[in-house]
Structure 1
């Protein structure tokens, strides 16, 4: 699997947040439902419209662990003040391992997550950094065999 390591300054994102339990991988189905709702009710389109000087090409899924809970944001890189029903979060400066995913959602990106935690961390020269994980969803047909998305993992080099 293709992995690119990049360093990036801190940036802000604006979006909607939900909190999910990660017990027994319960978050997988709930996150898919969150996206379906956001696409159906127009939230994803409203979030996308908040992009201002975005350097990340896509709408974000921001995963921030909090014990046995995960705060998950559907967000966009933006410096704008969020609408009342959305939140702003700061993504700290970090070194990122960027994993490319090609294929229909959610299966393709879930396979990338399985690779990251099932193989990559065990064999790489990196450990998890202190920042949220990002999913980057580009425009296009998310059911297509050639749909492109990314997973960004904050990393630090092993001693």
Structure 2
């Protein structure tokens, strides 16, 4: 089954079950995927995280129901999985800009978030260069933060900017000049842990008091070169991995941290080169 078809079937499953609990494990199982891999594929193909999509679709239907029926707010909140109802009011106001009770009033504007569509990638980008490497377990040291997906707020770009301003990048350089800077995505949801780090040896660990330390298990990695100015080169490289490479191969995400490898050089130059390291497994279900 190709990934466009899988995603379309998952979308039908989601839309048919918006009045029930929709944990990612249940959705991923319906299309024979691991939760981590499915979330990444959904985001890269649609441009929105799975959690945000489900929430916005539930709140769209909830607003429509409040606008045309006499159902109690508490009953609508529970119907769409919000317990306690106070969390429904908060989420509703954030999306629609008004309270659930105000949505009943004639002439009040509410939002409708549409179903996503999954467009195949352009054939002109069909070739992807990569290599596969087996790597033993290794340790990284650096600074981590809880971030959010999106264009604003606590994003990766924001965290890199803050780490440059507060001296974190300089401190990492003082630990080692032999290894490149790394960006590690530890999980993939709307809120996720991200780490700016370097690979650590015993000496750098001794110097890294108060820093975050993470051990990455032994794994098989697919390594993709990305060329061009940052952050665009890495962003477009990751999209291509998920929209072109994964659907064309017999691999899926292993669920370990993804690693952005930032090699020395001018990060704003057209010739700048970085790498995306993706942990992979052979597919068990096709």
Unaligned runs of 5+ in 1: none
- Greater share of strand residues, 1 or 2? 1
1:46 maps to: 171
Q: How does 1:4-153 map to 2 (within 5 A)?
A: 4-22=131-149, 25-26=150-151, 30-51=155-176, 57-65=179-187, 67-79=189-201, 80-81=205-206, 82-84=208-210, 86-153=211-278
Q: TM-score, normalised by structure 1?
A: 0.87
Unaligned runs of 5+ in 2: 1-127
RCO comparison, higher one (Cα < 8 Å, 6+): 1
Aligned counterparts of 2:158 and 2:147: Cα–Cα separation in 1:
12
TM-superposed deviation, 1:26: 4.9
Aligned pair count? 153
Structure 1 residues 28, 148: CA separation in 2 closer, same or farther (over 3 Å shift)? farther
Deviations 1:112-158 (A, max 9, x none): 11111122111111110131000000111110001110000000112
Aligned counterparts of 2:245 and 2:151: Cα–Cα separation in 1:
23
Q: TM-score, normalised by structure 2?
A: 0.50
**2:187 aligned counterpart, secondary structure:** strand
Name whichever of 3-12 and 36-45 sits farther off.
Answer: 36-45
Q: Which has the larger radius of gyration?
A: 2
Structure 1 residues 21, 137: CA separation in 2 closer, same or farther (over 3 Å shift)? same
- Greater share of helix residues, 1 or 2? 2
